[in-house]
Amino acid sequence: MLRASEIDTRMLGMLALLLVIWVGFHFMSGGTFLTPRNLWNLSVQFSPVAIMATGMVLVIVSRNIDLSVGSMLGLVGMAMAIIQAEIIPDIFGFDHPATWIVVLLIGLALGALVGVFQGAVVAYIGVPSFIVTLGGLLVWRGVAWSLASGRTIAPMDSTFQLLGGGSRGSIGEVGSWVIAGLAVAAIVFYLVNDRRQRKRFGFTLRPMWSLVTVGVVGSLAVLGAVWTMNSYYLPVNVARQVAEERGLAWPEGGLDIPLGISYPVLIALGVMLVMGFIANRRRYGRYVFSIGGNPEAAELGGINTRWTVVKTFMVMGILVGVAAAVTIARLNAATSGLGTLAELYVIAAAVIGGTSLSGGIGTIPGAVLGALVMQSLQSGMVLMRVDAPLQDIVVGVVLVVAVAVDVFYRRRSER
């Protein structure tokens, strides 16, 4: 029945895992985990990992790996920080209205460039990606370090900072409900359209109960998430400022102004949609999957497999650029250690999300859920004041266990 319903059992498993983690931490932390405040912060911190994980899916699906994303994030973040804190202000003055977009574009371009370079060495010279990006892990960190000679670069441009969330970096109550409405409409449209297409060609239809369940649960999840984001309010001092700007009276007991969905989360969701579209609806995505399934078949099909691999590393690089922007904007600074160990979180997110390390299999939404699992683990541990070394141990163990479970699961389903 589950098979006919076309509900992904793996996705269900992941949601169950998430639920266990959330409820578990909630009780162990004395009721502080499942609060709007914690979940809102969790959502902001999850964003860079989620953004990079969507790219890592394609890299791993194409039978490659990118171990350099953490160092690349450090390099690109540092470069963007130096440009906006030390170069642009000298020429155009502080907080020029175009600064944020110029810096962002330079960051994306730099990420793309690094990605193309690594991808070309992998695809055209034939050095295994494991080695190329292991080298990259050292090289880009070293470059990031020497760019700043170990200094912390701050502050960021004030518009640029919005990319990182923070108390001003979210779209507010109304905007969030609008997004929720759009998302629910999109879910309904997708389900209806899929059914219509199948009717047109006379293919088997998905049973009605499954359709309705997916629609209702999906919509409730969206509404619940937005409700949570809207239940977290601006801190008093910021709220007072905002009230003044909007010409609102400041009542005795203060004013609860909801933050709503933060920009980083919005960016991450946008990236997820775009990457999902590329992976499933575009030729390029199909090529990546075919290379992962059988490189020889892809080649014999007339696909330019090398160029496809280069593009995959380029996409990864661009996404690292996006994640770097979000990260330095949130911290309002860049340090040389920026992004250290991020590769572990990103790879773990992709693998937990169902990406197979032997290539050919993986989904973008799965990786985003995986990122949520990883970030939930980390946030929960921070909340419970687990010290850093133990956190690393847990993350390391989780990564290995996730791969082990994946291997086991696939071996069984092969029979």
Partner 1 sequence: MTDSPPLVEMKNMNVTFGGVHAVEDVSIDLRPGEILGLVGGNGAGKSTLIKTLSGAQKPDSGQIFINGNPATIDNPRDAKALGVETIYQTLALAENIDAPGNMFLGRELVTRLGTLDDSAMEDASRRVMGRLNPKFENFKTPVTSLSGGQRQSVAIARAVHFNARILIMDEPTAALGPAETEQVRELMRQLKREGIGIILISHDIHDVFDLSDRISVMLQGRLVGTVNREDVTMDEVLAMIIVGKQPGELTSTDLADLHG
158 near partner 1, rule: CB under 8 A: no
Interacting positions 352-371 with partner 1 (CB under 8 A): 360-361
Q: Which of residues 107, 258, 292, 370 is near partner 1 by CB under 8 A?
A: 292
Q: For residue 171, what are its two tokens?
A: 């779209």
**Contact window for partner 1 (CB under 8 A) among 16-24, 37-45, 249-257, 277-285:** 277-285
Would you say 348 and 402 are in contact if contact means Cβ atoms under 8 Å apart?
Answer: yes
Give the span between the Cα atoms of 369 and 11, in whole angstroms: 9
- Using CB atoms within 10 Å of the CB of residue 326, give its burial: 0 to 12 exposed, 13 to 18 middle, 19+ buried: buried
Closest CB 307 distance from partner 1, rounded Å: 13
Interface mask toward partner 1 for 210-249; x: CB under 8 A:
----------------------------------------
Q: Would you count residue 411 as binding partner 1 (CB under 8 A)? A: no
Q: Which is nearer to partner 1, 123 or 298 (CB)?
A: 298
Task: Report if residue 1 touches partner 1, rule: CB under 8 A.
Answer: no
If the CB atoms of residues 37 and 198 are measured against partner 1, the closer one turns out to be 198
Nearest to 48 by CA among 262, 361, 293: 262
C-beta separation of 157 from 103 below 8 A: yes
9 counts as binding partner 1 under rule CB under 8 A? no
Q: Work out whether 351 is an interface residue with partner 1 (CB under 8 A).
A: no
> Max CA-CA distance within the chain?
73
| Minimum CB distance to partner 1 smaller for 177 or for 409 | 409
Instruction: Among 14, 148, 298, 322, indicate the residue that binds partner 1 (CB under 8 A).
Output: 298
253 touches partner 1 (CB under 8 A): no
Q: Which of 301, 390, 401, 408 binds partner 1 (CB under 8 A)?
A: 301
Q: Which two tokens stand for residue 135?
A: 């080298």
Residue bearing tokens 């050095």: 127
CA-CA distance, 132 to 67, in Å (whole number)?
Answer: 9
The answer to whether 160 touches 100, Cβ cutoff 8 Å, is yes
Residue 219 CB, nearest approach to partner 1 (Å): 25
The number of beta carbons lying within 10 Å of the beta carbon of residue 164 is 23
Cis-peptide, bond into residue 258, ω within 30° of zero: no
Both structure tokens of 205: 């239809």
- Find out whether 249 and 240 touch, Cβ atoms under 8 Å: no
300 in contact with partner 1 (CB under 8 A): yes
8 in contact with partner 1 (CB under 8 A): no
Q: Is 193 in the site for partner 1 (CB under 8 A)?
A: no
95 binds partner 1 (CB under 8 A): no
Query: Per rule CB under 8 A, is residue 275 in the interface with partner 1?
Result: no
DSSP annotation string for 103-128: HHHHHHHHHHHHHHHHHHIIIII---
d(CA 179, CA 182): 5
- Which residue, 237 or 413, is less far from partner 1 as judged by CB? 413
Q: How many residues bind partner 1 (CB under 8 A)?
A: 27
Q: Does 125 bind partner 1 (CB under 8 A)?
A: no
Interface residue list for partner 1 (CB under 8 A): 197-198, 200-201, 203, 277, 280-283, 286-287, 289-290, 292-294, 296-303, 360-361
